Amino acid sequence: MSVTDEINRVRVELGDTAATYLRNKLTGGKSNENGSRYESNFAVFKLSQCIKELQLNQNRDIELFSQAPSFVDDFVVKDNDLSRKQSFQLKNSPNISWKGGRNPIALDFQYCHRMDKEEGVEDSETILTVSDHDLHARLSSTIPDEIAHHTSCEHFEDYISSNKALIDNHAIKDALSQICCINEIDKLCHMHSIIKGIWEDHKNEGCSVKDFVQKVIEVKPEYLRSFAPPFVLESRAAVILNNIVGFSYRILDKVLNYAYSSDSGNTINGTLHLDNDSKLEEFAQKVIQNNPSSFEELWSLGVLGDL
Amino acid sequence: MKSRTLKYEDRADINASLSRLVMPVTPSEYQHEMLTLGQYLAEKLSNRLKDEETYCVASTAEDADFLAKGVIDGLLASVADVKLACFWNHHTTPVKGGESTAPIVRKFFEKGATDCQNLIIVKSVISGACVVKTNLTDLIQKMNPNRIFVVSPVMHVDAKMKLSREFPPEISNKFDFEYFATDAERDALTNEVKPGIGGDVYKLLGFSSQEHKNSFLPELVKSKIF
């Protein structure tokens, strides 16, 4: 919906004062660099959760919006299957109140909820997400009565470095771990970079999670879980590999993760990406044809040597 | 080379070696130069190391047989023990204009490497610090070094700051950098540090591509794993 369309809709439903208020709010300038970073980080967090939902059930109809023409516009998740809409206002500042300022949050939340109801959204939630821990505690306990039935306050800590956030066990780590087939920080960081990059390229367009996942898949994200049953290695190849002393492997979704420990206790481990089951078949055939009996022989086949 | 700052202006041997990296040389000459620079780095580190302590030298696969070997050779006589950790990274920018990443596709740990008291991260050039960040992050999940030495012949002037901000202070406070030159310029097209180490290190060392580099097993690793 365009800005003009939404302002006209507000005029009809809530009157001229609310329509003028929304116009001023939408033209009032947006976030600075810190605010923008916070929004992108939060988007990666929410997107990771939505991607998991979609990967588990390809038929889910979930839409995402950022900076949509609305009273609460920082990040919107619209679950059409459940007639549920979550509108997030993001604040990366310690000086926030429910009713203060030029655009009081409580008023925005009230208008947003009323417009959702007018539109027929059954479950309309307004959520204030703040980066400051103390502010979160304060605002959580002082939600104004008139919005309390549809409002909550959440804490999402800001971060400059995704790597540092992952080391610090920020909530983003758990969200990314759910959609990555290998739960190691370098892989999670890689996934973070992909989701953030695509989100920043498309955030003003509004899109379904399905379209977003498609854009992610186009980047060939090696570690994205498909949640499909893992590929299975041909039994003859499995027997040969199992007989190599010190060698072990696991197939995690579409990744073959292998490890070898030498007699002297030195270890090597790595990953082999299986874009499709023909790559695994090719791997299995080479193993069967050459019948390696040691890790050195297996390595010399070149099957563990590329990406 | 006005954008370059040399750390040891009185060391003609080190600076001549740095200069040779940016001249047209064969891969074998380039490898030899990296080995020599590794030995110089070990020399400069030596008075900061404790002879009764153990050190894990962490390297990328491409640097292992040259720069890292030079560092290890230079250290063996002066500390209690040196162990090797080696990483193969796939360094790309997955989304155009976005952040670069370097996920680890393979890693090698010599027995006892993660039990070492200190860590020495070796890299031929530190530009955006992406690869060093990735490998160091993996290591600190497995070990708790007393000190973390980050050593490289050439670093971008912002590399220390960039690397430090990727870690909590309890880790970045342990950093101790050793290098011979800092460069302030980058190539507009490749974003490589200029003059840096003369361009794309994979090609200069004799690899045809990153994929080639990632299918390669350094001699240092071969001798310990087979």
Query: Three-state DSSP class for A5?
Result: helix
Query: Three-state DSSP class for B203?
Result: helix
Indicate the pairing of strand A123-130 with strand A151-155: parallel
Taking the CA atoms of A220, A222, A228 and A231 in sequence, report the sign of the dihedral they define: positive
- Quick: pLDDT tens for A13-62: 888 888 887 877 776 555 566 788 999 999 999 999 999 988 888 888 99
| Contact call for residues A145 and A98 (beta carbons, < 8 A) | no
Per CB-CB distance under 8 Å, the chain A contacts of B95 are 193-194, 196-198, 201, 219
- Quick: pLDDT tens for A158-181: 999 999 999 999 999 999 999 999
Residue of A nearest to B88 (CA): A270
**Do residue B95 and residue A268 have CB atoms under 8 angstroms apart?**
no
| Contact call for residues B60 and B86 (beta carbons, < 8 A) | yes
d(CA A65, CA A52): 18
- Quick: pLDDT tens for A72-126: 989 999 999 999 999 999 999 888 999 998 889 999 999 999 999 999 999 999 9
User: Which A-chain residues 236-295 have CB contacts (< 8 A) with chain B?
Assistant: 260, 262, 264-271, 295
Closest residue to B105, CB basis, from A163, A193, A270: A270
Q: What is the mean pLDDT of residues A150-157?
A: 97
Q: Mind telling me how many Å the CA of B131 is from chain A's nearest CA?
A: 10
> A257 pairs with which residues across the strands?
A250, A271
Closest residue to B104, CB basis, from A160, A186, A221: A186
Q: Interface of chain B against chain A, CB under 8 Å?
A: 88, 90, 94-112, 133-134, 137-138, 140-141, 165-168, 171, 211, 214-217, 221, 224-226
Closest residue to A190, CB basis, from B94, B109, B138: B94
Tokens of B87: 């990483």
Q: Which residue has the tokens 């080696």?
A: B86
Per CB-CB distance under 8 Å, the chain B contacts of A269 are 106-107
- Quick: pLDDT tens for B95-124: 998 999 999 999 999 999 999 999 999 999
Helices (H) and strands (E) in chain B, counts: 10, 10
**Do residue A270 and residue B98 have CB atoms under 8 angstroms apart?**
no
Q: Which residue has the tokens 């206790």?
A: A265
pLDDT under 50 in chain B at which residues?
none
> B126 pairs with which residues across the strands?
B155
Banded model confidence at residue A307, pLDDT cuts 50, 70, 90: very low
Given a cut of 70, whether residue A217 has pLDDT beyond it is: yes
* Higher-scoring residue by pLDDT: A154, A208: A154
* Higher-scoring residue by pLDDT: A67, A247: A247
